[in-house]
Amino acid sequence: MTTANLHPRLTVVGHPLVQHKLTLLRQRETSTGEFRRLAREISLLMAYEVTRDLPLETRRIETPLEPMDSPILSGKKLCFVSILRAGDGILEGMLDLVPSARVGHIGLYRDPTTLAPVEYYLKLPEDVRSRLAVVVDPMLATGHSAAAAVERVKQAGAEQISFACLLAAPEGLSIMAEAHPEVPVFTCAVDRCLDDHAYIRPGLGDAGDRLYGTK
């Protein structure tokens, strides 16, 4: 199955450094501190791809030698929206690249019986409607939390939205394609499937627990 069959606007970031660091991230023996560092490094590299099409304008500046017309980002910058809690594990790397970006948070947890997302927190910048909103979460597993988060960002008025994750499952991509086919999805890899507990296989385990050492 090609990526186009999984989601019409899917980008798999295949840069060798991203793939190398992802392999280290997956390993069972990777420590909490190392996992956190790798996730931050990968997300910074991913941010280059996520921001590739940001609009530019020209500004007149003075170099030490002479004036010139030089490109600079146009209009409002980015807003990163982290799906708590694991989303913060890749939020920080993206902020390393774009420190001026605004930040929003959406608190969602997965009901253990129905697997449906339940919202418990929402805080977004007031001007999110005039920014590119990048919703971030390490894993796109069932896709229900990601789709719900994107819907809440849409309800807040945002018209430019992307979604970024470290790993995706075909099932999650299918849900995102059905709910938000126009929203670009960026990931480092598309894994085989979900298991009976909605974990991505082969995956990397529970991203939140591995980021924060809670299991």
Indicate the domain borders of the chain: 3-51+78-212
pLDDT value for 4: 60
Phi-psi region for residue 157, left (φ > 0), alpha (ψ -120 to 50) or beta? left
53 is catalytic: no
Name the nearest CA neighbour of 35 among 20, 43, 25, 44: 25
Residues annotated in the binding site for 5-phospho-alpha-D-ribose 1-diphosphate, as ranges?
Answer: 85, 110, 137-145, 206
Q: Which fold has domain 3-51+78-212?
A: Rossmann fold (3.40.50)
φ, ψ (nearest 5 deg) of residue 62: -115, 120
Name the nearest CA neighbour of 204 among 76, 21, 9: 21
pLDDT value for 108: 84
pLDDT value for 215: 72
- Residue 126's SS3 state is coil
pLDDT value for 2: 55
195 is catalytic: no
Task: Quote the pTM value.
Answer: 0.91
**CA neighbours closer than 13 Å in the CB half-sphere of residue 32:** 8
pLDDT value for 3: 63
Q: What are the per-10-residue average pLDDT scores of the chain (215 residues)? A: 75 96 96 95 95 92 97 86 92 92 90 79 91 95 93 93 97 96 97 93 93 86
Determine which one of 9, 37, 110, 129 is catalytic: 110
37 is catalytic: no
Residues 6+ apart with CB under 8 A from 195: 201
